[in-house]
Copies of this chain bind each other. A is one copy, B any other.
Amino acid sequence: MCVFMIKIDENLTVVSPAGFKASGIHCGLKKSLLKKDLALIYSETLANSAGVYTKNKVKGAPLTVTKKHLTNKKSQAIIINSGNANTCTGDDGLAKANKMTSLCAKALNIKNDDVLVASTGVIGVPLNIDAIKDGIPSLVTNLSCNNSSAKDACSAIMTTDTVMKQAGVEIEIQGKKITIAAMAKGSGMIHPNMATMLSFITTDLSISPILLKEALKTSVNLSYNRISVDGDSSTNDMVLIMANSLANNETILEKNDDFNLFLEALTLLNIYLAKKIAKDGEGATKLIECTVKNAPSIENAEVLAKSVINSNLVKAAIFGSDANWGRILCALGYADIEFDPEKVDVRFESSAGEIVVCKNGLPTNFDESKAKKILLQDEIKILIDLKLGSCKATSWGCDLTYDYVKINGDYRS
């Protein structure tokens, strides 16, 4: 059982769990020589592994290859490029995704199907495989278990992200210290059900592949699938986890307290990164957290919270620090979930305080200047009470800004 509070540690990286190495280099997919674009995560031993993928019908070639290589639920390395999504690239794209893993496997002297692959960037442009081929030798040479190498890897998966997203947690299972760490990227096309969102999780825990997959799926549904930047689900999203057993705990084979502790820590880590992604949404200036409580079911609460988080009108109002709660009720109303508008309370909360703006579906006579002060902060909570049940769900997103339009008006140039 857990003997200490689970706490996010921002200094932990994907190389913090025992036996993991990482590296990141510039190979030439991004124009700027200063920007890294090729990353590698490597485990000294074969790791039980699992993945969760986008539900978009248009899928990037790397997804096809990674899914296939995970048939045996094992992997030893993940190679990731930014600057090109290798999607809508047909047979050529598929051949190149395969080439990425085989070149990498050869350089690492491991089996081809123990290498997973992910790509992020522009869609529909042929991948420059020569740049990757030329880069792999130094990518492998640079592998190390130093945090600086993990940082290189983390920066190599960024596209329009403005900050690196990595963190970890430590827990104790059977007296052994277990480390779980991850690196992730956003930041456009972010929407529930995996957006252009990549997250790579490493842990030295020993756990059966089936339970690993289950823990991953559960935690992803509570974290990455609860965020939205722009309502666009990408073609290339994936979350991968590698558990290499080097912590030497007795392998978790059932849903016991150890499993629950791992799940809790994993979920905490993923929520932390998901919020980081939401806050770093393209052009965003604010993190918006919407909680719907006292709903008849978690599913209902989730759909309603996401509807609010996705509303362009709500997002633009939060950008303008405008307490336009009518738009929140409107967004609840079109979510196609039964609720009673005349029971709804809406409250805004931030570091500057809290204010109830709507009570039983009606305006409270609230102090506009106080509301403004609350909404001027960079993390805004929207709390909605349905008074219909006892379930709740939280969803995260960001405001809609001039810069979102600017970034996306000409992304390719």
A residues bordering B, Cβ < 8 Å? 55-59, 85, 87-90, 122-126, 188-189, 191, 193, 230-235, 310-313, 316-317, 319-320, 322, 324-327, 329-335, 337-339, 341-342, 358, 360-363, 400-402, 404-413
Contacts and interface: CB of A to CB of B under 8 A. Distances in A.
A334 B57 contact: yes
Given A234-B330, A402-B402, A405-B402, A358 B410 contact: no
Contacts of A191: 334
A370 to B, nearest CB: 16
Contacts of A408: 312-313, 316-317, 320, 400
A84 to B, nearest CB: 11
Given A230-B313, A402-B402, A413 B322 contact: yes
A334 B124 contact: no
A408 B404 CA distance: 14
Given A58-B341, A88-B363, A313-B189, A330 B235 contact: yes
Contacts of A59: 333
A411 B317 contact: yes
A57 B411 contact: no
A85 B409 CA distance: 33
Nearest to A122: B326
Given A233-B334, A316-B407, 20 more contacts: A55-B334, A56-B334, A57-B337, A57-B339, A58-B330, A90-B342, A122-B324, A124-B362, A189-B313, A189-B330, A231-B231, A232-B312, A232-B327, A317-B411, A319-B409, A320-B409, A324-B412, A401-B405, A402-B406, A404-B405
B125 A363 contact: yes
Contacts of A123: 324, 326-327, 329-330
Query: Which are the 10 A-B pairs with shortest beta-carbon distances?
Result: A123-B326, A320-B409, A58-B333, A316-B408, A56-B333, A233-B334, A320-B410, A57-B333, A124-B326, A230-B312
- Judged by DSSP, the binding face of A is loop
B316 A409 contact: yes
Nearest to A408: B316
B412 A56 contact: no
Residue from the set A88, A232, A337, A411 with the largest chain B CB neighbour count within 10 Å: A88
Residue from the set A90, A193, A233, A327 with the largest chain B CB neighbour count within 10 Å: A327
Contacts of A316: 404-405, 407-409
A148 to B, nearest CB: 34
A360 to B, nearest CB: 8
Contacts of A400: 405, 408
Nearest to A316: B408
18 contacts: A56-B333, A57-B335, A87-B326, A88-B341, A88-B362, A90-B361, A122-B326, A124-B362, A126-B363, A189-B330, A191-B334, A232-B311, A232-B312, A232-B334, A312-B404, A316-B408, A320-B408, A400-B408
